Amino acid sequence: MKIDFTLNGAATTVDVTPDMPLLWVLRDVLDMKGTKFGCGASLCGACTVHVDGKATRTCRLPVQDVKGAKVTTIEGLSADGTHPVQIAWKEIDVPQCGYCQAGQMMTVSALLETNPSPSDGQINSAMNRNLCRCATYSRIRKAIHHSAELIAGDEAATASGSGAK
Amino acid sequence: MSDSTKGRLSRRNFLRVSALAGGGLLLSTRFELLGTASAATADAAGSLSTHVSISPDGLVHIVAQNPEIGQGVKTMLPMLIAEELDVAWEQVRVTQGDLDTDSFSGQFAGGSMATPMHWKPMRVAGATARAMLIGAAASRWGVSADSLTTDAGAVLHKATGRSLSYGELATEAAALAVPSADNLVLKTPQEFKILGVSKPGVDNSKIVTGQPLFGIDVTLPGMKYAVFAKSPVYGAKLKAVDLETVKQAAGVSHAFVVRGDTPLSGLQDGVAIVADSWWAAKSARDELVVEWDEGPTAAQSSAGFAEQAELLSKGEPTQVIKADGNVEVALGAAAKTVEAAYSYPFIAHAPLEPQNCTCHVTEGAVEIWAPSQTPERARDGVAELLGIDKSKVTLHLTRMGGGFGRRLYNDFVMESAQIAKQVGVPVKLLWTREDDMAHDLYRPGGFHYLKGGLDANGDLSAWYDHFVTFGEGKKFSASASMGLAEFPQGFVADYSLVASKMALGVPTGALRAPTSNAISFVIQSFMDELAHAGSKDPLEFRLQLLDKVIAAGTKTRLDAKRMRNVLLLVAEKSGWGKRQLARGSGMGVAFHFSHRGYFAEVVQATVSKRGDVAVDQIWVAGDVGNLIINPINAENQVQGAVLDGLAQALQQEITFEGGAAKQSNFHNFKLLRMAQAPPIEVHFLQSEGDPTGLGEPALPPVPPALCNAIFAATGQRVRSLPLANHDLSWT
């Protein structure tokens, strides 16, 4: 069955069984390996992407459910690593093994869209379903605050007319 | 580094340099492990090699030889080379090496060994290349090598102000004789520019943009996908299976039985299902009808082990591990004695990337992409399994989504090789999370029946531990043993460690800080009980024990002075004894020596009246030698290890029923979550000796420090883990 959706800004059509989870369509049909498989039961968050801007688990999400939707994966956050969340993750040196981090970053980038300056309590509730087996939680928290600063800095720069990123 | 360059190395050469096509320097070295380089010992087991190449544009390409599981070794080993080569870190480009036992050694991730093993040889490799680049500049300028210095990838002649970049010199340097390692002068720590300065992980850019790095990301032309269904009970034999129905399932190309006749850590009986997508293979497996002959392990259970242990504790131990003095007499003479029974559960490793391996078996050759902590064993195992020479097996290392000891064992590699052999095209085997939980080599549970004696001053005078564990005869199950010189052996004259064993049909293995991650809880909790029984401050009690040995000059496995110093540091940083905490809140302390590292930790925890435990803060003081090589990663490793220990203590256990693990995924085997992670202050004491590893030693003190904090908070002594099984409510 043919299913159309927008993937990282590009019109995309796949011809797969409609109940195949989006995770496996991304990884094995479209060869985009950034989104990870961790539990297959929506428990760990390694497979998080944005569906119409919302952080969404994909390991049990039938691809037919994203028909016509806008899907953004870690590869679409920015291909060159210049999204503020990506910059913060590199500078703070968040990753240990790095396997869960795409999912963490997709949850964070969706959070910051609606709450540009989350408190520690808000971070706890937003991030509580993204597991990190290496337990880089101190660094993730620090990087979320740093991402918020980078975004605020960008906006301040834009507002003051300098425009430079 | 092109693969063709590797062929130039022979086992006889301990160091060889050759020109790269297109100009540049290739340096290959072999050095004795943990010793000085010498041609005579170059062929000895444990020798190692590394590759550096410098291209004419001045970029320095360094091959990271060891498996990266998140411990930061892919950044750290190249830092060691780059430091002595005297290049700017920005010039360095790191690539992952394949398994290459002719050129490298010590290519494994385990035992926090990469730092102590490679600390000197990697620096010698860098210094050798630097000496040759200086030699090339000296001939070009007609000056003595002594008059030259280097900085940031260039050779400088200060007298005349001349300089040449390494890129300009590399080809000439490659033609020079290799200097003896004995003549090389390595930098002093005061001269370091790279070591001791934080370097974010070399793969960070790829990780944050989602590029394929991990074993699970491997894709090959024409590749198929496999799942492998095994019985949830170890050692089960396949009795009957309906393969025909599975073969009809959409996308499925192959379904066949694999017979396993190797030991528990190897290949097991199972059904392989191969399809054109992993989802198709997995969906077909969901409908698989299979019957197992479960065998004797099906009669084993966690409840049964506990009953058996209780019985064994009442009988005579079957083995004396260590006996000093006369513990019976000492207990009889003690002013006060304390008895307690402790236990801890089996635990799964649960690395977040499920086990996987990609394999291509062709006529007479095998190519493997393996997320393995022990790639050499993986290659040798595959060669043996398939009956081919190991020289015909090529093994590529991939980044791993966590290791924690699970990927020391290559069962999934054997499965992928066996399946790929039958299929003929490249096959990626991928386990489900449920497969991983059911087929771990678990951290073994254990039981300890302790007696301690105090003299009239409240000082420790006797220690007796009847350790009821797993194994048969003299043999302990993997990671189910205890060392002869485990603390407090040597710190108390009358000491006895004895054991009894239960047979176990479930495989066990090393989990981050193996043995230490379990026994530290027992030793440091019971130590706390004894301190309180003698009405002493628990930290003071420990200090006095260490001081006594320091004063007596007794030789013990752990250096009492180094432990004393981290204990004093953590006391100071945590404000031990100086904080006024409300009832329900308390601080606990513990220390442990493992993997050459000294760690003392303080946990502050609050127990609500309902009994919920919240960890408020953790302070860590560690001593891993005279230098922290990469501080930004060192802190991350320690914080991760501490939270790993916290997760184990709070909420992790694997229980067996009918020989099978009851837990199957993260809903019932619970990883720590963001909201549970307290602030962790990490302090290093840079003391003496070469730096040692950091992946493991910060973990063991956490469970006892937490349980000791709970005692301080509520007066409840926790003697079995995890805490989730206890009612800690108070009024």
* Per-residue pLDDT tens over the stretch B466-487: 999 999 999 999 999 999 999 9
- The CATH number linked to B234 is 3.30.365.10
Look up tokens 């006594």; give the residue: B548
Closest residue in B to A45 (Cα) is B352
What is the rounded distance in angstroms from the CA atom of residue A20 to the CA atom of residue B280?
A: 9
* Average of per-residue pLDDT values in chain B: 92
Set of chain B residues whose Cβ sits within 8 Å of the Cβ of A136: 636, 639-640
Out of A39, A97, A125, the one facing B402 most closely (by C-beta) is A97
* Residue B164 per-residue DSSP state: E
Backbone angles phi, psi at B425, to 5 degrees: -105, 170
Q: How far is A69 from chain B (nearest CA, A)?
A: 21
B679 assigned to some structural domain? yes
Q: What range does the domain containing B290 cover?
A: 215-295+355-430
User: A64 with A19: CB under 8 angstroms?
Assistant: yes
Closest residue in B to A89 (Cα) is B208
Q: Which of B153, B183, B208 is the last residue of a domain?
A: B208
B4 assigned to some structural domain? no
Residue B562 makes CB contacts below 8 A (sequence gap 6+) with B598, B623, B685, B687, B688
Closest residue in A to B645 (Cα) is A135
Set of chain B residues whose Cβ sits within 8 Å of the Cβ of A63: none
Set of chain A residues whose Cβ sits within 8 Å of the Cβ of B201: 93, 95, 98
What is the rounded distance in angstroms from the CA atom of residue B359 to the CA atom of residue B420?
A: 6
Side-chain-facing half-sphere of B579: CA atoms under 13 Å: 20
Judge whether A131 is closer than 8 Å to chain B, CB to CB: yes
User: A112 with A85: CB under 8 angstroms?
Assistant: yes
Set of chain A residues whose Cβ sits within 8 Å of the Cβ of B203: 95, 98
User: B73 with B56: CB under 8 angstroms?
Assistant: no
My answer on whether B394 and B266 are in the same domain is yes
Look up tokens 């108390």; give the residue: B492
Q: Which of B208, B239, B255 is the last residue of a domain?
A: B208
For residue B476, the model assigns a pLDDT of: 98
How is the beta sheet containing B15-19 ordered, strand by strand? B15-19, B25-29, B51-54, B60-64, B92-96
For residue B31, the model assigns a pLDDT of: 33
Confidence of residue B8 (pLDDT cuts 50, 70, 90): very low
My answer on whether B366 and B510 are in the same domain is no
Q: Of the ranges A46-60, B26-40, B345-359, B460-474, which one carries the lowest mean pLDDT score?
A: B26-40
My answer on whether B517 and B543 are in the same domain is yes
What is the rounded distance in angstroms from the CA atom of residue B128 to the CA atom of residue B181?
A: 7
Q: Do A79 and B209 touch (CB under 8 A)?
A: yes
Q: Of the ranges A31-45, B9-23, B238-252, B253-267, which one carries the lowest mean pLDDT score?
A: B9-23
Nearest CA to B577 out of B560, B606, B602 is that of B602
Look up tokens 């609606």; give the residue: A114
CB neighbours (10 Å) of residue B422?
A: 14
Set of chain B residues whose Cβ sits within 8 Å of the Cβ of A46: 352
What is the rounded distance in angstroms from the CA atom of residue A42 to the CA atom of residue B201?
A: 29
My answer on whether B104 and B246 are in the same domain is no
For residue B730, the model assigns a pLDDT of: 96
Judge whether A115 is closer than 8 Å to chain B, CB to CB: no
Q: Do A32 and B633 touch (CB under 8 A)?
A: no
My answer on whether B182 and B244 are in the same domain is no
Residue A108 makes CB contacts below 8 A (sequence gap 6+) with A85, A126, A127, A140, A143, A144, A147
Out of A17, A80, A135, the one facing B644 most closely (by C-beta) is A135
User: B335 with B456: CB under 8 angstroms?
Assistant: yes
**Given a cut of 60, is residue B10 above it in pLDDT?**
no
Tokens of B181: 């390692």
Which of A99, A140, A141 would you mutate first to test chain B, the one with the most B CBs within 10 A? A99
For residue B83, the model assigns a pLDDT of: 97
Tens-digit pLDDT profile for residues A15-39: 999 999 999 999 999 999 999 999 9
User: A73 with A49: CB under 8 angstroms?
Assistant: yes
Q: Of the ranges A108-117, B22-31, B324-333, B424-433, which one carries the lowest mean pLDDT score?
A: B22-31
For residue B265, the model assigns a pLDDT of: 58
For residue B174, the model assigns a pLDDT of: 80
For residue B172, the model assigns a pLDDT of: 86
For residue B179, the model assigns a pLDDT of: 84
For residue A154, the model assigns a pLDDT of: 81
My answer on whether B400 and B530 are in the same domain is no
Closest residue in A to B640 (Cα) is A135
Provide mean pLDDT across the span B218-242.
97
E strands, chain A, are 2-7, 10-15, 49-51, 54-56, 70-72
What is the rounded distance in angstroms from the CA atom of residue B694 to the CA atom of residue B679?
A: 19
Nearest CA to B570 out of B545, B548, B603 is that of B603
Q: Do A133 and B201 touch (CB under 8 A)?
A: no
What is the rounded distance in angstroms from the CA atom of residue B42 to the CA atom of residue B655?
A: 48
Confidence of residue B173 (pLDDT cuts 50, 70, 90): confident
Tens-digit pLDDT profile for residues B379-421: 999 999 999 999 999 999 999 999 999 999 999 999 999 999 9
Residue B707 makes CB contacts below 8 A (sequence gap 6+) with B521, B525, B528, B588, B649, B717, B718, B723
Q: How far is A164 from chain B (nearest CA, A)?
A: 22
Set of chain A residues whose Cβ sits within 8 Å of the Cβ of B210: 32-35, 73-75, 77, 102
My answer on whether B526 and B658 are in the same domain is yes
**Given a cut of 50, is residue B499 above it in pLDDT?**
yes
Q: Do B353 and A97 touch (CB under 8 A)?
A: yes
My answer on whether B229 and B129 are in the same domain is no
- Integer angstrom CA distances of residue B406 from A40, B112, B348, B410, B543: 20, 14, 9, 9, 36
Tens-digit pLDDT profile for residues B508-532: 999 999 999 999 999 999 999 999 9
Which of A86, A138, A147 would you mutate first to test chain B, the one with the most B CBs within 10 A? A138
Tokens of B122: 């990697």
My answer on whether B616 and B686 are in the same domain is yes
For residue A94, the model assigns a pLDDT of: 98
B437 assigned to some structural domain? no
For residue B262, the model assigns a pLDDT of: 61
Set of chain B residues whose Cβ sits within 8 Å of the Cβ of A39: 433, 665-666
* Residue A161 per-residue DSSP state: T
Judge whether A32 is closer than 8 Å to chain B, CB to CB: yes
State the burial class of residue B552 (Cβ atoms within 10 Å of its Cβ: 0-12, 13-18, 19+).
Answer: exposed
Q: Which of B158, B180, B208 is the last residue of a domain?
A: B208
Burial per residue of A76-104, b for 16 or more beta-carbon CB atoms within 10 angstroms, e otherwise: bbbeebebbbbbbbbbbbbbbbbbbbbbb
- Integer angstrom CA distances of residue B602 from B3, B219, B605, B641, B709: 50, 46, 10, 14, 8
User: B418 with B257: CB under 8 angstroms?
Assistant: no
Residues 34 through 93 of chain A touching chain B, CB cutoff 8 Å:
34-41, 43-44, 46, 73-75, 77-81, 85-86, 89-91, 93
Q: Do B404 and A133 touch (CB under 8 A)?
A: yes
Q: Do B674 and A31 touch (CB under 8 A)?
A: no
For residue B681, the model assigns a pLDDT of: 98
Q: What is the end-to-end Cα distance of chain B in Å, rounded?
A: 67
B1 assigned to some structural domain? no
Tens-digit pLDDT profile for residues B236-257: 999 999 999 999 999 999 999 9
For residue B24, the model assigns a pLDDT of: 56
Q: Do B674 and A141 touch (CB under 8 A)?
A: yes
Helix (H) or strand (E) holding B561: helix B560-574
Residue B374 makes CB contacts below 8 A (sequence gap 6+) with B108, B109, B110, B407, B408, B409, B410
Q: Where are the alpha helices (DSSP H) in B53-164?
A: 73-85, 114-141
Please tell me whether the peptide bond between B116 and the residue prior to it is cis, using omega within 30 degrees of 0.
no
For residue A161, the model assigns a pLDDT of: 62
**Given a cut of 60, is residue B19 above it in pLDDT?**
no
Look up tokens 């260039």; give the residue: B154
B370 assigned to some structural domain? yes
B68 assigned to some structural domain? yes
Tens-digit pLDDT profile for residues B614-648: 999 999 999 999 999 999 999 999 999 999 999 99
What is the rounded distance in angstroms from the CA atom of residue B92 to the CA atom of residue B122?
A: 15
Q: How far is A58 from chain B (nearest CA, A)?
A: 13
Nearest CA to B313 out of B465, B440, B185, B457 is that of B465
Tens-digit pLDDT profile for residues B534-566: 999 999 999 999 999 999 999 999 999 999 999
Domain count across chain B: 3
CB neighbours (10 Å) of residue A121?
A: 9
- Integer angstrom CA distances of residue B410 from B379, B395, B405: 9, 13, 11
My answer on whether B480 and B591 are in the same domain is yes
For residue B51, the model assigns a pLDDT of: 63
Residues counted in chain A = 165
Helix (H, G, I), strand (E, B) or coil at B469: strand
Which of A97, A119, A132, A140 would you mutate first to test chain B, the one with the most B CBs within 10 A? A97
* Bridge partner list, B463: B452, B495
| The dihedral sign for the CA sequence B375, B377, B380, B382 | negative
Nearest CA to B691 out of B634, B639, B598, B629 is that of B629
State the burial class of residue B543 (Cβ atoms within 10 Å of its Cβ: 0-12, 13-18, 19+).
Answer: middle
Out of A20, A86, A130, the one facing B279 most closely (by C-beta) is A20
Out of B68, B208, B675, the one facing A105 most closely (by C-beta) is B208
Q: Do A133 and B432 touch (CB under 8 A)?
A: no
Angle at B532 between CA B526 and CA B535, to 5 degrees: 150
Q: Where are the alpha helices (DSSP H) in B373-515?
A: 375-386, 411-423, 433-438
Confidence of residue B26 (pLDDT cuts 50, 70, 90): low
Helix (H) or strand (E) holding B525: helix B516-533
My answer on whether B242 and B386 are in the same domain is yes
Structural domains for chain A? 2-77 (3.10.20.30), 84-159 (1.10.150.120)
**Given a cut of 70, is residue A52 above it in pLDDT?**
yes
Provide mean pLDDT across the span A110-125.
97
**Given a cut of 60, is residue B33 above it in pLDDT?**
no
B436 assigned to some structural domain? no
User: B445 with B304: CB under 8 angstroms?
Assistant: no
Comparing B176 with B320, the larger pLDDT belongs to B320
Confidence of residue B655 (pLDDT cuts 50, 70, 90): very high
Q: How far is B402 from chain A (nearest CA, A)?
A: 5
**Given a cut of 70, is residue B2 above it in pLDDT?**
no
Residue B392 makes CB contacts below 8 A (sequence gap 6+) with B364, B365, B366, B383
**Could you tell me whether strands B365-370 and B393-397 are parallel, antiparallel, or unpaired per DSSP bridges?**
parallel
Out of B69, B644, B674, the one facing A127 most closely (by C-beta) is B674
My answer on whether B313 and B263 are in the same domain is no
Q: Do B213 and A34 touch (CB under 8 A)?
A: no
B84 assigned to some structural domain? yes
**Given a cut of 60, is residue B39 above it in pLDDT?**
no
What is the rounded distance in angstroms from the CA atom of residue A111 to the CA atom of residue A116?
A: 8
Out of B68, B216, B666, the one facing A43 most closely (by C-beta) is B666
**Could you tell me whether strands B92-96 and B60-64 are parallel, antiparallel, or unpaired per DSSP bridges?**
parallel
For residue B13, the model assigns a pLDDT of: 31
